Every structure is written in C-alpha cells, then in structure tokens.
Amino acid sequence: MSLGEFLQRATSPWMREGGPQDDIVLTSRVRIARNLEGVPFPQLETDSHANQVIERVATALNSPAMRKLGDFELVRCSNLTPLDRAVLVEKHLISRDLAEEARHGAVALRQDEVISIMVNEEDHLRIQCILPGMRVDEAWRLANTVDDALESELTWAFHERLGYLTACPTNVGTGIRASVMMHLPGLVISGQINRLLSAVSQVGLTVRGLYGEGSEAAGNLFQVSNQVTLGESEQEIIQNLTGVVLQLIDHERAARKALLQANREALEDRVCRSFGILAYARRMDSKETLQRLSDVRLGIDLGIIKGVSSRILQELLVMTQPAFLQKYFGQELSPEERDVRRAALIRERLRLDDMEVRG
C-alpha cells in the first residue's frame, strides 16, 4: 500500500481536514463522563458488572436514537492487539488508561472516528467528540446529542444537587472536559508563553501537553481545557474556554507578526533549517520530529514555505508515534529502528506534496 492510501485509510478526519482558525487550533475535543445508576464504578466492578455495562451499551448503540447518529462498532480492548490499542491512543480516540489498564475496557467508534465512546475506563462511559479546528461548541453539541440518544436506553447516576456522578469528584456535576489543542510557536519563541499560561490557570482552565495529563508540551502544542465541572453549566464552561482560546489566538497571531517584523531572517533560517532536516535526515527521534514539524508548520502559516500541506503537522505528529510507525511498516521496531523509519516516513510524506521553498 502506498503512503497516500495508508494516510487516507489510517488517519482520522481531525488529522486530514481543516476547520475555523486551523492555523493555530488543531482540534477541539469534548468528552463527557457518565455512569450507570446502581452499578459500582469500574474501579470496584466485578466481572459480571463490567460485562453487564458493555452489554447495556451494546443495546443502547442499537437503539433507534443511536442508529440515527451513525454506525458504531463496539470492540472490547481484549480483542485488540496491544499495537492496535496504542494506535487508538495516538489518534486520541481512547485514553492510555483504557488501552493499558482497564480490565474490561471497550470502545465504540463511529465509522468516521469523530465520536468515540470509552466503556469501563475510570467511568462507565466517556463520550468523546473530536473535530478539526476551533469547533468546541459544535463538539459539545454533538456530544450532548450522543448523551441524549444513549439516555433513551440507559439511566445515568444523577444526584439532585451534585449533578452527574463520576468516579472522581474532579469530574462531578457536568462531567464535561472540553479541550482545545493549540499550536503556539510564536508565544513560545517570544518567551510570552509562561506568563499567558499562568493567566489561563487563574480562570479555572488547565494546560497540558499533547497526550493529556502528564505529557510534555513538545512541538509547541498545548491543550487548554476546563478544570471545573461543578457549579457552571456546560454552556458557561464552553463559553469561558472559547473566550480564553480566542484571546490566546490573538496573542499568538500578534507574536508571529512581531517576530517577522523584528527578525525575519532569523525566523526564516530557523524554519528552513528544520525543513531541510525533515527532508533529508536519516534518523529522527520523536522529540526532534515534533520540534521540527512545529517550525515547518509555522513556516507554512507565515508563507515562508509554500507547496506543503498545512495538515502535515497533525498528520505527521500522529504518524510518527511509535505504534503508528510499527503499524505502517507492519513490524515490531526497536527505538533505534524507529528513528530510522521515522526519518524515512517523513521524507516520503514530504515528497507527496509538491515541494517549493521560497528563498
């Protein structure tokens, strides 16, 4: 299979398609936590409870309300190879916890991979919607529709005062976590990022790296999400997040403009060096890959590099992850082998686009 075909088949829409403000916002994601009434949370579930939850979800997926929303495939994690589970993690469709630790984990995926429903993770259900670009409001509306449709068959654990009950009290109430993945190289290069992120934390939001809790902020990628889930309505949470993200976008655009004005040559040199390395290097580790991809993407956004798809950042940041690489090359690879193959894959991907570097 050619790389082009593999890309079409193996990538999710959020990696291939664009959306509003997609020069800065890569994806918008909303997940809502729900639990079934009268069943212990997954932490204390017995085997029979866990199976019961999966069966009830399977029934709910077959309800008329859910069928209207598309075709879902429900798979138990135990029926997936560790490599396939890792690929789903790298595509942000399931969490690392579900892939590695959940004894009775399952996932329901809609064919287009916009909607995924994790079963028996920390909570019985985690409904997730992921869309490219700044569409967090749309992602919430979609997740809300899925929630309503599932509720036609399932009864949620709900408390009159505390709202939706979740295994961890940090999710209780709305159970919502809305997050926006942003590419902020301008703010990082100009040294403004720490000041801005600490301001963000003052208004009830948190910032994390590419792969969620505990991951590094490699490649100048940041996930901004709400921290508080109780006491504010879903709309208020989405509005608050949107307001802050739009401000961050303005700051990022201003920072990029200022960098170009203050030292165009230095910026062009940085961007083109990274492009040269990606186009010719024979060994690339993940960390350097992300950094170079971030530079190249900035170069594309600023018109320094032409003829290369701006999708290249989100495509390659997933494609060059360990599990995806092994999936593409169809074999197990040691970290050293991965570095060699990663470099080869990047070179090949760059050749897919008609390369033309201005200068």
253 is in an annotated binding site: no
Query: Does residue 31 contact residue 175 with C-beta atoms inside 8 Å?
Result: no
Q: Measured between alpha carbons, how far is residue 180 from residues 50, 164, 177, 187, 266 in Å?
A: 31, 23, 10, 16, 30
27 is in an annotated binding site: yes
328 is in an annotated binding site: no
Told to check if 300 binds another protein by CB under 8 A, we report no
Told to check if 294 binds another protein by CB under 8 A, we report no
Q: For residues 205 and 308, which CB has a smaller minimum distance to another protein in the complex?
A: 205
Q: Which of residues 233-272 bind another protein (CB under 8 A)?
A: 233-235, 237
Q: What minimum distance in Å lies between the beta carbon of 96 and another protein?
A: 12
SS3 category, 108: strand
Site for another protein (CB under 8 A): which residue of 44, 68, 282, 359? Answer: 44
Told to check if 157 binds another protein by CB under 8 A, we report yes
30 is in an annotated binding site: yes
Residue 349 to residue 341: CA distance in whole angstroms: 12
How do the residues of the chain divide into helix, strand and coil, expressed in percent and rounded to 5?
50, 20, 30
Told to check if 162 binds another protein by CB under 8 A, we report yes
Told to check if 230 binds another protein by CB under 8 A, we report yes
Told to check if 206 binds another protein by CB under 8 A, we report yes
Stretch that binds another protein, among 141-149, 241-249, 267-275, 348-356 (CB under 8 A): 141-149
SS3 category, 62: coil
**How close are the terminal C-alpha atoms of the chain, in Å?**
35
Site for another protein (CB under 8 A): which residue of 1, 4, 20, 37? Answer: 37
SS3 category, 274: helix
Told to check if 216 binds another protein by CB under 8 A, we report yes
Task: Please count the residues of this chain forming the interface with another protein, following the rule CB under 8 A.
Answer: 59
Chain centroid to Cα 2, Å, comes to 25
Stretch that binds another protein, among 86-94, 99-107, 191-199, 294-302 (CB under 8 A): 191-199
Amino acid letter, 53: V
Q: What minimum distance in Å lies between the beta carbon of 87 and another protein?
A: 23
Q: Which of residues 108-127 bind another protein (CB under 8 A)?
A: 122
Q: What is the full DSSP assignment across 157-214?
A: -EETTTEE--SSTTSTBT-EEEEEEEE-HHHHHTT-HHHHHHHHHTTTEEEEBTTBTT
H or E element in which residue 75 lies: strand 72-76
Binding site for another protein (CB under 8 A): 35, 37-41, 43-44, 122, 144, 147-148, 151, 155-165, 167-170, 172-174, 176, 193-194, 197-198, 201-204, 206-209, 213-217, 227-235, 237
